[in-house]
Amino acid sequence: MKSYDLIVIGGGSGGLTVAAGAVGFGVKVALIEKEPEPGGDCLHIGCVPSKALIAAAKELHTAKKAAEAYGLELKGEANYLEAYRRVQAAKAAIQPHDSAERFRSMGVDVFQGHGQFRDKHHIEIKGGEVLYGKRIVIATGSRAAIPPIDGLQDVDFLTNESVFDIKALPESLVIIGAGPVGLELAQAFARLGSKVTVLERGSQILNKEDAELVPYAQAALEKEMSFVFKASVKKVEPMPDGRKRLWIERDGEKLQLETHAILIAAGRRPNTDRLGLLTIGIQMDGDHIAVKKTLQTSIPHIYAVGDVIKPYPFTHAAGMEGKIVVGNAVFGLKRKVSYDHVPWVIYTDPEIFHLGITEEEARKHVGDEVRIYKVTLDHVDRFITDRNTEGIVKVITDRKGRILGAHAAGNGAGDWMQQAVFMKRFGHKLPAISHVVHPYPARSEALLKTADQYWRDKLFQGGIAGRIMKAYVKWFR
């Protein structure tokens, strides 16, 4: 039996961050990964393939729009195999960075197989050996949650685990779920040529986003696909020609949909059910593992990161958690995780950027101290020159200008809103961005204009500062 200072179960973003960080400090590390190669969902069936597919679909969409605008004619159908090849090429290009070979070269012992707790310190690799770990990190990720729909198991359906392997574009596609995964893939397949219908149990999309952003996203998406809101899928059945029929209820009304393919995008389920956690007495929070702020479980030498814990199933959140665990598990520190400055982006077109709290949340928790600064993109010169002015930037502060939340809908928002993350993380107030010179014309000017708006309101819209400034100007003249 081999003994290790640290065993990491799961080779996704969080697990690889822990393994690479720990071995760099001379710690003896074992990494257990159930798939043939590490990289996790993000590389194999998540972020990387989805963004490659989105990029391919956007190129085609842009070409069609440009042809129409310039009086050109595009003929024929898009070759979906080209999009498929791009997805596979993107994964292949990134895989070496996360490969078992690379981690072995760093000094990590990599084991392929399913790891399960035999007791609080011993991990059994299914069909293989048993490893001893002084400390253990659980980073086994999540999988698609499959809703209990009558007949669903009798038809072929897609999830994020299989959709990137199809080599033919479905003529029609019904997507169950309008979360980030559902919306991103819906738009990509619609642009590639599928007739897409999205079913959503709620009354709108993006219910976690600031309400003022939602109309921009929904209006854009409704031009490319159909939505059925307040929809509950009661039954699915196969049809003789290979299509599927869905039986749906909407506000008491019964509907039927026929489609060539079904994609399930109804949320994620943490991979905690095959680890033997109850056997060793780890405290759970539903299907998730309960952790302290130090990311320790109820058994102090066992940590957990990534999708197996709450609140965020994001690759970048798992990476952040992994860095904290390196310090705590390797050096015995008690660093605490904070999600106050973790942003996320929904990679639809327009992109949706989210940082901190929404206006509704701010008014509920902060009250009258809230200040709102917003700029629509039709007032930003670069978006005007790009002829892509649909969108908005919205920054929420307290009365002193400290950023509580920053949100945007617009082309590339995930990139040009990053300066808001830096400002919030390091306590810079919104007006400080007015002192940063931005190249003209840049899309980041959208955020700059919110800071300019702050100064206009502060100096010229009343209050003591405004009265003093006006009095001084009058005297100076």
Binding site residues for FAD, as ranges?
51, 115, 140-142, 307
Cα angle for residues 275, 279, 282 (degrees, 5° grid): 75
The string of DSSP letters for 198-245 reads EEESSSSS-TTS-TTTHHHHHHHHHTTSEEEESEEEEEEEE-TTS-EE
How far is CA 326 from its chain centroid? 23
Nearest-5° Cα angle at 106, 102 to 111: 65
Q: Are 93 and 51 in contact, with CB atoms under 8 Å apart?
A: no
Using only C-alpha atoms, the chain has a radius of gyration, in whole angstroms, of: 25
Instruction: Evaluate whether 352 touches 346 at the Cβ level (below 8 Å).
Output: yes
What are all long-range contacts of 374-379, with beta carbons under 8 Å and residues at least 24 apart?
374/212, 374/450, 374/453, 375/446, 375/449, 375/450, 375/453, 377/410, 377/446, 379/449
Annotated binding site for NAD(+): 177-184, 200, 267
168 and 189 Cβ atoms separated by less than 8 Å:
no
Binding site, annotated residues: 51, 115, 140-142, 177-184, 200, 267, 307
